[in-house]
Amino acid sequence: MPFTPKDLQELPISFCSREGETWVTVGPCSITAWKKRKIPLDGRQYKCAGTIILRNGKELQASFSITTTNFDFIIMDSLYIPVKGTWYRWNEPQLLDALNLSKEEFIPYQWKTDKPLDYHVKAPYVIDDRLLKEK
């Protein structure tokens, strides 16, 4: 379900929408702003502002979570993309309509966080096709 600006005012929902915005999960129901320059590979989960790069090369602003417990990093269920103030989950059909793209044109291929990972491999990172399979 897309989240409109009205939803964001009325519901306790938030997305990383400012460049470089990053939060770290510090407890079962608690997150805090991550102010350091890089995101460490410390086994925690981070919610990040970033970019999704489609196979056609188009770059889209996004908000998503990453886990530093494995090297897939990105958590696809947390990937939302804003279009004109409305936030869409990456696999919602309405997103394709809002972007005026076909399903074949819209295949997330790479991603990068605005705040870099403290990782020897530099962004952008390729999204493994098995993560794109719908559940």
The 10s digit of each residue's pLDDT in 45-86 is 999 999 999 988 999 999 999 999 988 899 999 999 999 999
- CA distance linking residue 106 with residue 87, whole number of Å: 16
- Going by pLDDT thresholds of 50, 70 and 90, the confidence category of residue 130 is confident
Q: Say if residue 135's pLDDT is above 80.
A: no
Q: Does a structural domain hold residue 115?
A: yes
Element (H, E) at 10: helix 5-10
Question: What token pair was written down for 48?
Answer: 């990040």
Q: What is the mean pLDDT of residues 126-130?
A: 85
Q: Is residue 15 part of a domain?
A: yes
- Assigned token pair, 106: 């819209």
Asked whether residue 134 is domain-assigned, the answer is: no
Joined together, the tokens standing for residue 132 give 């794109």
Look at residues 21, 17, 22, 19 and name the one whose alpha carbon lies nearest to residue 40: 22
Cα distance between residue 25 and residue 44, in whole Å: 7
Per the structure block, which two tokens stand in for 85?
């103030």
Global pTM value: 0.91
In a domain, residue 59? The reply is: yes
Tell me the pLDDT of the chain averaged across its residues.
92
133 in any annotated domain:
no
Give the structural domain span for 21: 5-126
Per-residue pLDDT, 134: 57
Of residues 118 and 104, more confidence is placed in: 118
Confidence band, pLDDT 50/70/90 cuts, at residue 30? confident
Res 131: pLDDT: 77
Question: Which among 46, 37, 101 is positioned nearest to 73, based on CA atoms?
Answer: 46
Number of domains in the chain: 1
Distance CA 107, CA 93 (A): 12
Say if 64 falls within a structural domain. yes
Residue 133 pLDDT > 80: no
The Cα 87–Cα 14 span in angstroms is 10
